[in-house]
Structure 1
């Protein structure tokens, strides 16, 4: 007899991390989705050089945690795998909804959405599924989900800028992959797209991040 896979729903709890304070002086609110192997509180180190009084950073936490090495000392996390992707994506969308509800961000701030590596897929899917307006979308060293189309982002105001950032020596990005992702980004975002390659590997480029505000 073959095993039967069933599904249930239940309440769960997850953390997220923030950097700086949300005040009347805050100009930009960042939603930053980390890559595979990170914890949100450590991912925030890449945003510490932004002016603290003007920038409030929110780093969601990928829910699937695991030990990175065989010494079982360092913990990382993953957003999605090829297993149960649709259901897990729906769960993540509701998790991000809960963050926005708790933070109650003022309309006077600019929302900047950044995805790094695996976090690109989460950032883009959230904007597309929730039709979330933002001032900037930054796609840093990650892949664009296959199911997304230009129609998913037609709602974005003309003032929203989109930046594709990647390292020219990134071991995960072959020439063919760079060409594919670049063309996909152009298809989705057209003339609003800006492409910023840099000399480097699969790393977060803080200099480029700082230059975008």
Structure 2
């Protein structure tokens, strides 16, 4: 007979920048499968500034990328016990979010960003929590098919949504793009597509261009 238990859990996250009242913009970024936050966050050096804070949580499950030794990566979840894992990482990500934003000023622009597997992770955080944010960026990843339709529509209806991918991305195939379009249609969202010449990777140049796009709304205000 399977049983469940809850307990305190210690987890880590990385920041690029210094939390202060000078910060005007927060990027909450989730890495892809097999990555670690301390390396993933370096990809955002190109857009770091005293007024922009980058926060990179790390997947709660770490493993050896090859065999039983050597390089280590992290993942957000697998197919095993997935509902529980999703609930756990939403609780974890919410705790990171609340800790960081408690150190910042009340009016703040917030970008939720997910790369590859992290795109599904950040999509679930955006739609299955009550955390405030202004825009959602899915880079080399798509909306997961298990998003709650009505809740997702309500949570994303006034948000800027971007789908960014390399035209040579070996994982984001035409079939996957069609799946993205189908899910987006179900939740009544039309992401703006941004493409570039490249594979399954982050482009500093495109990242800089994305960071320069004005926020349509400034919705986050803490009482």
Work out whether the TM-score is over 0.5: yes
Report the counterpart of residue 140 of structure 1 in structure 2: 139
2:61 corresponds to 1:61: no
Q: Which moved more, 1:18-27 or 1:75-84?
A: 18-27
Given the superposition, is the C-alpha separation of residues 138 and 189 from structure 1 closer, same or farther in structure 2, using an over 3 Å criterion?
farther
Residue of structure 1 aligned with 2:73, choices 76, 80, 88: 76
Secondary structure of 2:15's counterpart equals strand
Given the superposition, is the C-alpha separation of residues 154 and 138 from structure 1 closer, same or farther in structure 2, using an over 3 Å criterion?
same
2:163 corresponds to 1:164: yes
1:24-53 CA-partner distances (Å, limit 9, x unpaired)? 321210100000111111101111011421
Q: How many residues align?
A: 208
Secondary structure of 2:201's counterpart equals coil
Task: Flag structure 2 segments of 5+ consecutive residues without an equivalent.
Answer: 212-223
User: Residues 66-145 of structure 1 correspond to what in structure 2 (within 5 A)?
Assistant: 66-70=63-67, 72-103=69-100, 104=102, 105-145=104-144
1:167, CA displacement in angstroms? 1.4
Report the counterpart of residue 153 of structure 2 in structure 1: 153
Q: Which moved more, 1:130-139 or 1:146-155?
A: 146-155
Given the superposition, is the C-alpha separation of residues 24 and 106 from structure 1 closer, same or farther in structure 2, using an over 3 Å criterion?
closer
User: Residues 45-60 of structure 1 correspond to what in structure 2 (within 5 A)?
Assistant: 45-60=42-57
2:181 corresponds to 1:194: no
User: What TM-score do you get using the length of structure 1 for normalisation?
Assistant: 0.90
Residue of structure 2 aligned with 1:15, choices 7, 12, 15: 12
Report the counterpart of residue 38 of structure 1 in structure 2: 35
Q: Which has the higher contact order (CA 8 A, sep 6+)?
A: 2
Q: Which moved more, 1:175-184 or 1:18-27?
A: 175-184
User: What TM-score do you get using the length of structure 2 for normalisation?
Assistant: 0.86
Report the counterpart of residue 212 of structure 1 in structure 2: 210
Secondary structure of 2:26's counterpart equals strand
